[in-house]
Amino acid sequence: MGLIMILSSSIFMLQVAIATERPIIGILCDEIDNNPSRSFISASYVKAVEASGARVVPIFLSRNYDYYKRMVDSVNGILLPGGKALESTVGGYFDAARHIFNYTRQLHEKGAHFPLLGICLGMQALAEFSTEDYDNSNSTLERCSGVNGRMLPLKMTQSFRNSSLYGNITPQIYDILTKQNVTANYHRYCIRPDKNLTLPWHILSLNVDRERKQFISSMELPGPIAGIQFHPEKNAWEWNQEHAAFEDALLASRHFYDWLVIEARKNNHTFDDIQNEDDSLIYNYDAIYLGREQIYRFESTSTSQRLIPGQLLAIISCLLPLIVINNKYSTIR
């Protein structure tokens, strides 16, 4: 009797927990040359998500709030990738990410489960949106020296064990992440742990820069929303720079994309019809080979963007070796 009760209740929990076995992850595009009518996604993010068992839909720039709401309502989780963007670009990466964050938080407040993962620039954007003086990015981000191109072991904080991101980590992955130089850091700005973010982020891990000053390397908000300062998609999928690509590094790098897709399976969003789903998938676009790595490039047919001159021009960069040598674009329909 007791056994049957336990079995049936765990089956029930499984049914509640898993909402889809066919998850779709939206990946936000990044602007090229601060012109959001030309955008791209590094194929490494797409491959990493696909390797964890989800399909990918690109989320374009320069759209209105309704578009981003519709995308959140259609996909099971969103990845805000690293890259290089100006906060001041109207209709650019930051504007799009802010809409996504805003609507996602509204869903979380209503109890929905929708994972959002910000990587490098994506994490920095999430931190900025969590600061009262949002318009002054200096107040959120600081220059961080000597970590561009460095592989670092994570220093976990007390909060990591109870976190969504690391709560189910295996001892083996924990050991690799904390003892070996596997996390690929490519950034010149960072968030210091004493920065008082307005929203209740939990700091999960820290690292130090060349001046021995600490910066946040992973953090999370309930929802779940996670930010990581390093690039786990680079280990296996980018060959333009030298990242830790030995077996343990590859094993550990999977953890973050697996987390995103496992959490996405608990979300029940769907596209309104199957044709719309098929037409939205990244499979409709060709990746372009740039030499040791691939990207997807998109050109919008409507180009109504402009830069506001004189606005804060802090370039927030998670450096990419982006060699823009190819003029081929996919046209966004």
Ligand X SMILES: *[C@@H]1O[C@H](CO)[C@@H](O)[C@H](O)[C@H]1NC(C)=O
Catalytic residue numbers read 120, 231
Q: Is 178 in the site for ligand X (CB under 6 A)?
A: no
> Which of 31-39, 157-165, 274-282, 294-302 is the region at the interface with ligand X (rule: CB under 6 A)?
157-165
Q: How far is the CB of 107 from ligand X (least distance, A)?
A: 9
Identify the residue whose tokens are 């839909």: 57
Residue 162 found at the interface with ligand X (CB under 6 A): yes
Instruction: Give me the least distance between CB of 220 and ligand X, in Å please.
Output: 7
Whole-angstrom distance, CA of residue 27 vs CA of residue 196? 28
Here the tokens at position 165 are 């991101």
Shorter beta-carbon distance to ligand X: residue 42 or 280: 280
Q: Which stretch binds ligand X (CB under 6 A): 85-93, 104-112, 114-122, 274-282?
A: 104-112
Q: Give one DSSP letter per residue of 159-213, joined into a string.
A: GGGGSTTTTT--HHHHHHHHHSS-EEE--SEE--TTS--SS-PEEEEEEE-TTS-
If the CB atoms of residues 192 and 254 are measured against ligand X, the closer one turns out to be 192
| 112 near ligand X (CB under 6 A) | yes
Q: Are strands 142-143 and 189-190 parallel, antiparallel or unpaired?
A: antiparallel
Residues 193-232, interacting with ligand X (CB under 6 A):
194-196
Q: Which of 33, 27, 37, 44 is nearest to 290 (CA)?
A: 44
For ligand X, the binding residue among 138, 145, 168, 172 (CB under 6 A) is 138
| 121 φ/ψ sector (left φ>0, alpha ψ -120 to 50, else beta) | alpha
Asked if 312 touches ligand X (CB under 6 A), the answer is: yes
Query: In this structure, are residues 122 and 167 in contact, taking their beta carbons and an 8 Å threshold?
Result: no
**Residue ranges that bind ligand X, judged by CB under 6 A:** 102, 105-106, 112, 136, 138, 162-164, 180-181, 194-196, 268, 312
